[in-house]
Structure 1
């Protein structure tokens, strides 16, 4: 498994499919236009007033930004100081640091939208920090799967993101099947040995009688 490469080969969902789901995550925008509320199947959004922030689905924020109708306010976790803290904690601890479930897809979509106007300060630095975080986390995943493959009965992979869980699932299932196969073989061998021991004991008892 390449650390943080984003290779979706063997994954359950394509990256584009997970991004599609992530587009429903709420983000804050500052519109520069006035409009009544939008009545969507998922609920009402708005009304829109110039320079008054409101939360909208990410897909709508990107669509409005492409038309120069708003600016997107980066979420609190998408800041250099916060990502630096997360990276240090990831390196110092065995477990995974809590992150938004769709942080990988959201950051990719926001950086893509950022090309239309500059809303994200230090975008280059943020990209580098996010990649470092992904690399550290994927290395932890890889080590966890190696432990599972070596007949460890339990491996904790808590706080995985959607993209990480999608990549892990097929590897995890394969490793789990291998562990179950080994345990079944060991149990069969144990039962066979016990059976042979019982037969030997019965034969010895018959000879003595």
Structure 2
């Protein structure tokens, strides 16, 4: 986005880069025992390997059977189909409206899934705490918020090279970042993020640290600097 604005003629001195931050008072890791309780409440088997996708990726506000391709619902479905062959106990947890395309694709591939529409944003952290992995499969993003939300929650993250994920993810340190949008590559990264115990531990610890550097509270000085140059009539 910064490059786009510069190319459009906006002077460098007018630009400030502030990441879409995270509220670490709501998004935080939980114990294994608490994770089991959450899964039980959601009706997800304790033995399942749970991958999350929390977004709106269908056109309009109906069932969402027509995909919004910039959000990569087709990439997500194909990635999960390939991952299912490697991880038989795969279960997908979805939130957000208009997820019909993804749900139909998962059903066609025989992948168990749970879809919840939340009334309150503050209910979302508990769903992160049910996950083994979060996948960002978008073709274009400004954020997404899920990058720092998953890190703050202690959930290993796999993402396509979009938005702030490109700058916040240090591959194989605090997350896994694909080179493109291939379901083959993404499913391989997901499998690695699920099965490599040492890597998972590394990503969780480093991800929590990264999130801590990008909380809303930590951005106060950045916002003060931003507003300092604004003239009000």
The structure that has the greater radius of gyration is 1
Q: Whose helix fraction is larger, Structure 1's or Structure 2's?
A: 1
TM-score, normalization by structure 2 = 0.27
TM-score, normalization by structure 1 = 0.29
